[in-house]
Amino acid sequence: MSGRTSTVVKELDFPELPSPEVPTTAFDSIKVLNSSSENLRDYPFSMGEVFENLEISRRFPKSYLAKMKKIREDTAEFREKYILPNIEEIEKKVALDPDYFPYEIIKEGIRYRFPTLIIPEPFGGPGYLAAHIGIMAEELAVGSGGFATTVSVNMAQLITLFDPYLFAVYCKESIEAEKRGETIVWSGAITEPNAGTDRWDADFQNQTRAGLVAKKVDGGYLLNGAKIFTSNGSVARRSAMSAALDPNDCVGTGCLFVVKTDTPGFSIGRVERKMGQKSSATSEQICQDVFVPDDHRVGKIGVTARFTTLYLASSRGPVGAIGVGCGRRALQSLIQWAADRRNGQGRLIDQQALQITISNMARDLAAARSAYIQACMGFDDIASKLLSPWYVRMPLRLMPLSLLTTETFRKTVQSERGRDAVNRGVEWAFPDDKMMYLAGLAANAKVLGSSTGRKVAGEVMQIMGPDAADPKWGVDRAYRDARLTEIYEGTNQACAITNFKAMAGSFVETLGS
């Protein structure tokens, strides 16, 4: 550096930053849950979850594994036939017109029963549970994370499980639509303009005012307000929407509605122009005096926080699976690419440095996959328990859907006593300790799957350099798609907080010792 005098760089004079507000959840304010399961009493220190997993897998019937294999094969076939040959064209169309939605390909999914996945066998559906949805999500995401999201979000219909009448009504509707060769798309709308993370965490819900307010009127409710970032938001015909009767008390007066999107006053706001998951339409949903009849309110008032936790316990595993699928796409591309590429030392695939990198990526993906399978199986174990007693199975087999959708059945299950009974059933099946354990597993699975998928795709991009942008490899798409899985269904930070709260019971003992 001759000719130059080296100068000591002066410390930059930044203006004083305002002291940041540190989000705080006082440990003593966390509901401490001592697990009723011997195995899980000291989770994560006792390895009890290992025994729990083994016991759970012994309880499943053979058909559970058979269905896993079936959905994996079906979805892989759908991906190769319909997604991969069309995804580039779809992404281009969406980039020009965010309103474009690949209906024609979504309709091909009817043969694979994508719109009726969660409908139990006695009702005419394939009866898939969370692990099957997770496997489907991973296989679809290898083709397109956006497609995986579009198909998985139909699971929002699951929210009607908290009201057996509505569940039967919408199972019937979906099955009949399937027979006609139609798809009824669902969305689940929780996030609001001034509340994202705060809406997705049961304990944070009261920290903000509700953005969708329900007012009781004769025969039903009037909904006013907006939801944002709703997947399938602009294409859904049914939307499961959370609202509150008192905007200042989201927990005490929170309620869920099934809203038909052709109801007067319902409209679609902005359809987001996204970098990733372009084949999933994300939009605002706006309600201006939208009338929802009483019979379309799901469950009791004031249980939305619990519903949200339970829903996330089932849905976050499959989101992790989408991340794994994106990472898998990138890794597969890297291997094919490295088999043809050479540097001065020869073929890249022969070189140990790359072999180690590939091995590390595959290991991380396998760990993330185990996490989502574990989370989903934990949830399915309880879901199956709900459906297994003879007094549940018998009526399901003997009573056709037409009987469960009668006015008499509706009056019984939607009476205050009926709603109380359903609530007690859910509390019995998913007691707080079990629910939070499952919520923690699902949160971990979502974080592991999404961050691994994004990380693997990012590393592959760096190794492949400009080639990664070649559409034939799908690597940049995998990165863009995986990135969103770190955000939706509650950000990864929100998931980490859920998991911390789930383990707090064990920490009390550790703190005391």
Ligand X SMILES: Cc1cc2nc3c(=O)[nH]c(=O)nc-3n(C[C@H](O)[C@H](O)[C@H](O)COP(=O)(O)OP(=O)(O)OC[C@H]3O[C@@H](n4cnc5c(N)ncnc54)[C@H](O)[C@@H]3O)c2cc1C
Residue 252 tokens, joined: 């005490």
For residue 194, the SS3 value is coil
Contacting range for ligand X; rule: CB under 6 A; set: 69-77, 227-235, 323-331, 440-448 = 227-235
CB of 439 to ligand X, least distance (A): 15
Q: Does 189 bind ligand X (CB under 6 A)?
A: yes
The strand ranges marked E within 317-444 are: 342-343, 346-347
Among 53, 116, 174, 277, binds ligand X (CB under 6 A): 277
In 181-303, where does DSSP find H-type helix? 197-200
Of residues 483, 481, 474, the one with CA closest to residue 87: 474
d(CA 210, CA 374): 34
- Tell which positions 145-164 bind ligand X, by CB under 6 A: 153
Which CB, 423 or 491, lies closer to ligand X? 491
Judged by CB under 6 A, which of 64, 78, 473, 488 binds ligand X? 488
Choosing from 43, 229, 291, 437, the residue that interacts with ligand X (CB under 6 A) is 229
List the interface residues with ligand X, window 230-249 (CB under 6 A): 230-231
Is residue 353 within 8 A of residue 298, CB to CB? The reply is: no
Closest by CA to 494, choosing from 190, 150, 242, is 190
Query: Which residues face 242 on adjacent strands?
Result: 256
Q: Is 200 in the site for ligand X (CB under 6 A)?
A: yes
Is 490 one of the binding residues for ligand X (CB under 6 A)?
yes
Please state the closest distance from residue 334 (CB atom) to ligand X, in A: 25
Query: CB within 8 A of 349, min separation 6: which ones?
Result: 335, 338, 339, 355
Of 286, 324, 444, nearest to 375 by C-alpha is: 444
User: Could you tell me if residue 164 is left (phi over 0), alpha (psi between -120 and 50 degrees) or otherwise beta?
Assistant: alpha
**Could you say whether residue 184 binds ligand X (CB under 6 A)?**
no
Q: Does 206 bind ligand X (CB under 6 A)?
A: no
Least Å distance between CB 195 and ligand X? 7
Contact criterion met (CB below 8 Å) for 230 and 261: no
The reply on whether position 491 binds ligand X by CB under 6 A is: yes
Among 32, 386, 387, 487, binds ligand X (CB under 6 A): 487
Binding of residue 23 to ligand X (CB under 6 A)? yes
| Alpha helical stretches, state H, 109-256 | 130-143, 145-153, 164-180, 197-200
- Give the binding range for ligand X (CB under 6 A) out of 5-13, 28-36, 49-57, 488-496: 488-496
CB of 384 to ligand X, least distance (A): 26
Give the residue with the Cβ less far from ligand X, 120 or 193: 193
> How near is the Cβ of 367 to ligand X at its closest, in Å?
23
Q: Which segment (33-41, 89-97, 172-180, 229-237) binds ligand X by CB under 6 A?
A: 229-237
- The yes or no reply on residue 287 touching ligand X (CB under 6 A) is no
Q: Is the dihedral of CA 469, 472, 474, 477 positive or negative?
A: positive
Residue reference for tokens 């540190």? 22
The correct pick among 248, 360, 388, 493 for binding ligand X (CB under 6 A) is 493
Rounded least distance, CB 495 to ligand X, Å: 9
User: Shortest distance, CB of residue 209 to ligand X, whole angstroms?
Assistant: 14
Nearest residue to the partner ligand X, using Cβ: 196
Stretch that binds ligand X, among 48-56, 178-186, 225-233, 387-395 (CB under 6 A): 225-233
Nearest to 439 by CA among 365, 481, 382, 389: 382
With respect to ligand X, which residue has the nearer C-beta, 68 or 151? 151
Question: Is 114 near ligand X (CB under 6 A)?
Answer: no
Long-range interactions of 266-275: CB distance < 8 A, separation 24+: 266/290, 268/233, 268/234, 269/226, 269/228, 271/98, 271/99, 271/233, 271/234, 272/98, 272/229, 273/95, 273/98, 274/484, 275/480, 275/483
Report how many residues bind ligand X under the rule CB under 6 A.
Answer: 23
Binding site residues, ligand X, CB under 6 A = 23, 153, 188-191, 196-197, 200, 229-231, 274, 277, 282, 484, 487-491, 493-494
